[in-house]
Chain A
Amino acid sequence: DAGITQSPRHKVTETGTPVTLRCHQTENHRYMYWYRQDPGHGLRLIHYSYGVKDTDKGEVSDGYSVSRSKTEDFLLTLESATSSQTSVYFCAISRTEHGYTFGSGTRLTVV
């Protein structure tokens, strides 16, 4: 869908380990976003990027960091995974009048 892919699609990891999720786009969009989706909370913004090396925090950024060294890649890192970070993670790009295009998501389970 609009050239945005997330990897991995599923991951199970242990508490305390670092985890990196990858978002890759092929359309050179400036803005990229990481959201998490949990029952009863909808989609909540973790971090976003407005260009290479330009990132900022969203509403639920504690315990997460991001990096964007190339326009096409936006990485989300859980520095030390906790059970509260078990969630579905979506990456998105902004396409102005066409809204956001989301990746297929990463289902992360922290045990």
Chain B
Amino acid sequence: GQQVMQIPQYQHVQEGEDFTTYCNSSTTLSNIQWYKQRPGGHPVFLIQLVKSGEVKKQKRLTFQFGEAKKNSSLHITATQTTDVGTYFCAGLTGTASKLTFGTGTRLQVTL
């Protein structure tokens, strides 16, 4: 079946440093979505990328979708303590809008 891998599993940065998480799928994706989950919370939708090579920005967050539609990345510029949480990518394939989630990258930010 489809597999979606994320690296790194965990990253600890100091506030102000940049952060990047990478997502790779074993199959071509219709689209890719990114979610953030704060500790003790539920995943919250951040963004969806649909087109090959697409780049989208949300303030300090930059999302990219690979040319082959099999990989993606999330880059955070100048992290803040409010960025703490686990970031998941999720790939959409097949029918019924099913998402296959990556294993997540946990981000810890300290002052």
Instruction: Give me the interface of A with B, judged by CB distance under 8 Å.
Output: 1, 31, 33, 35, 40-45, 48, 50, 56, 58-59, 90, 94-105
B43's contact among A90, A97, A98, by CB below 8 Å, is which?
A90
Contact between chains at B103 and A40 (CB < 8 Å): yes
Instruction: Give me the interface of B with A, judged by CB distance under 8 Å.
Output: 1, 6, 33, 35, 41-46, 48, 88, 90, 95-104
Contact between chains at B101 and A43 (CB < 8 Å): yes
Residue of B nearest to A6 (CB): B42
27 A-B residue pairs with Cβ-Cβ distance under 8 Å, sorted by A, are A31-B96, A31-B97, A33-B98, A33-B99, A35-B101, A40-B103, A41-B103, A42-B88, A42-B104, A43-B88, A43-B90, A43-B101, A44-B101, A50-B96, A56-B96, A90-B42, A90-B43, A95-B45, A97-B48, A98-B45, A99-B35, A100-B33, A100-B35, A100-B90, A102-B42, A103-B42, A104-B41
B45's contact among A40, A99, A104, by CB below 8 Å, is which?
A99
Expressed in whole angstroms, the Cα–Cα distance for A98 and B90 within the complex equals 13
Distance in Å from the Cβ of A103 to the closest Cβ of chain B?
7
Chain B residues near A48: list those with CB within 8 A. Answer: 96, 98
Chain A residues near B101: list those with CB within 8 A. Answer: 35, 42-44
Expressed in whole angstroms, the Cα–Cα distance for A42 and B1 within the complex equals 16
Distance in Å from the Cβ of B37 to the closest Cβ of chain A?
9
Contact between chains at A45 and B33 (CB < 8 Å): no
Contact between chains at B45 and A42 (CB < 8 Å): no
